[in-house]
Amino acid sequence: MNPAPNLHSSKEALTAPAPLVSVIIPAYNAERFILEALQSIDVQRYLPLEILLIDDGSTDGMVNLVRQHAPHVQIISQPNAGASAARNTGLRLASGEFICFLDADDGWFPGKLAAQTDYLVAHPEVGIVYHEWHVRQSDASGVFQEPQFDLLPKPSCTIDPSLSGWIYPHLLFECCVHTSTVMMRRSIAHEIGYFDTDLVTGEDYDYWLRASQHCEIHKLAATLSFYRSTPGGLTSKPTLKNNEYDVICRAIRRWGLISADGTVVPKPAIEARLAGLAFSFGYLHYHLGSFPLARGAFLTTLRHAPLDWKAAAYLTASTARSLFDKR
């Protein structure tokens, strides 16, 4: 095995003028991927003002590895409290004019920081800019395929107009913002506040919904980062709460169905969205044998879509199975 490189060895990097960007990396037992993530930062034309690695109570060799190969990284260790708490620590400590997030198993492609910094400097009316990303799937042995760099478009400031602007209406239908793609103004981060540490999943969705009330959010069309998708990842594990459903309902209670620019979300469309989320949650738990939980989800589905015959059938079946299990 080749020795890991020193990630901050170039003269140019050490003598660069103070950049504008703070990078926040929440990390828990990320020894396998952390150096690749850090290397993806160091190849950027705009080096960050600071890299804040928030060690969320790791028990592997990650911290020592970073100290050895990336001494320029600020390591802040805290007891394990989850990604939201780690990101919040980073937000409190960040001093850059612009803030980026990078999960420890994700990475950036060259030109990301330059493209986003240029865009925010040129568009003072925009508070947050994100971009397209590439999903890296693992094979059966857990090995990730390398992205095809030659197939990726060159970084540019061309935006996707359909996913740019006051995007609250679009966010109600999908979380189109991936956290590792974001660059935001620190002033906007202060307005939005912190990630909700009570949410096990969906905390990023909740954050970007809140962000959409404070500023325009624009999407660069270029693919400037990658995301690792693993079958056993946190987002693939069943939860006892339908967090995505709850996050959307909370947003609607707070802000209704109208965005800051006056765009109205059709009520039938949002009812269908909520019915679909409730049904999917119920279907998952029905087939896991959690029949009381499934029954509640199918009841919720029918509140949003009273004529949904599949939900009615599953409600009957889950009710029967719940009663049978009590015998």
DSSP 130: E
pLDDT tens, residue by residue, 208-234: 999 999 999 999 999 999 988 765 544
Report d(CA 22, CA 99) in Å as an integer. Answer: 5
Report whether 225 contacts 133 (CB < 8 A): yes
pLDDT of residue 60: 96
Global pTM? 0.87
CB atoms < 10 A from the CB of 248, how many? 23
Query: Which of 39-48, 49-58, 257-266, 297-306 has the least mean pLDDT?
Result: 39-48
* Identity of the amino acid at 240: L
CB atoms < 10 A from the CB of 233, how many? 11
DSSP 240: S
User: Which residues are registered as beta bridge partners of 88?
Assistant: none
Residue 125, pLDDT > 70, answer: yes
